[in-house]
Amino acid sequence: MYFDYYMSYYLMIPAIILSIWASAKVNSNYSRYSKIPNSSGMTGGECAKRLLDANGINDVSIEVTGGKLTDHYDPSKKVVRLSEEVYHGSSVASVSIASHELGHVLQHEKGYAPLVIRNSIVPIVNFSTSASWFFIVLGLVFSFSHLVNIGIILFSACVVFQLITLPVEFNASRRALDMLTECNIVSSGEITGSKKVLSAAAMTYVAALLTSILQLLRLVLISRDN
């Protein structure tokens, strides 16, 4: 049982290493390709507008949001929010990230199943993830295994969410690369840079999934030890 307890901590080492590497890769590629202008001269904001028009979408707005790499699509309000550097920048990185968010818009418009499922379980996942730690801590403090097991089951929702997120993000990047070439926003030589930017970003989601899986296994081992 003591083996389970100590092993539960060692399990997190691969996830920590992968997370640090993925984060460094994102920052490295973004920093590199944010200095390289795209051949069309478009900013991220102009790219997003161009792609909306090209796909006949006129009910989605584009806004500027604060922070770095905070770009996202809000399906509930049908708003693409781009960070200032991406919105105003005319680099390969800027249009790559903007087009990735437009990939999510297309998923939403076409009813892409993994995205629909992910969006529908967000409230459940938010609640279950928060509640899981309440049950786990309470169960460990009072040595009540049933409470710990309830917490572990609730935390499993986080793993499911991260698992569904992977195809959503990879598919959005594939759509982004297709749109960038079809609309001549980047040249054939620049598409390699776009792939590197989007691939590095995708690895952060792989790291998040691995972290969730190992955290779940860690909780199981701690429960057994307790």
Place of tokens 């620049």: 190
pLDDT of residue 225: 66
Mean pLDDT (the chain) is: 92
130-165: per-residue pLDDT in tens? 999 999 999 888 888 889 999 999 999 999 999 999
71-82: per-residue pLDDT in tens? 999 999 999 999
Q: Which of 85, 101, 169, 190 is catalytic?
A: 101
Q: Is pLDDT of 3 > 50? A: no
What are the residue boundaries of the structural domains of the chain, listed by start?
2-37+92-225
Q: Is pLDDT of 4 > 60? A: no
Task: Compare 176 and 3 and report the one with higher pLDDT.
Answer: 176
Distance between first and last Cα of the chain: 8
If one counts every other C-beta atom within 10 angstroms of the C-beta of residue 72, the result is 15
What the block records as the tokens of 128 is 């279950």
Q: Which amino acid is at 4?
A: D
Q: Which amino acid is at 16?
A: I
pLDDT of residue 8: 61
Q: Verify whether residue 101 is a known catalytic residue.
A: yes
| Exposure of 87 in the CB half-sphere (CA atoms within 13 A) | 16
Task: Compare 59 and 219 and report the one with higher pLDDT.
Answer: 59
Range from 10-14, 35-39, 184-188 carrying the lowest mean pLDDT: 10-14
pLDDT of residue 226: 60
Give dist(CA 75, CA 41) in Å, integer.
Answer: 28
Give 3-state DSSP helix, strand, coil % of the chain, rounded to 5.
75, 5, 20
3-class secondary-structure state, position 31: helix
Residue-wise over 140-174: b if at least 16 C-beta within 10 A, else e?
beeeeeebbbbbbebbbbbbbbbebbeebbbbbbe
Q: Is pLDDT of 15 > 90? A: no
Paired strand residues for 79: 61, 74
If one counts every other C-beta atom within 10 angstroms of the C-beta of residue 90, the result is 16
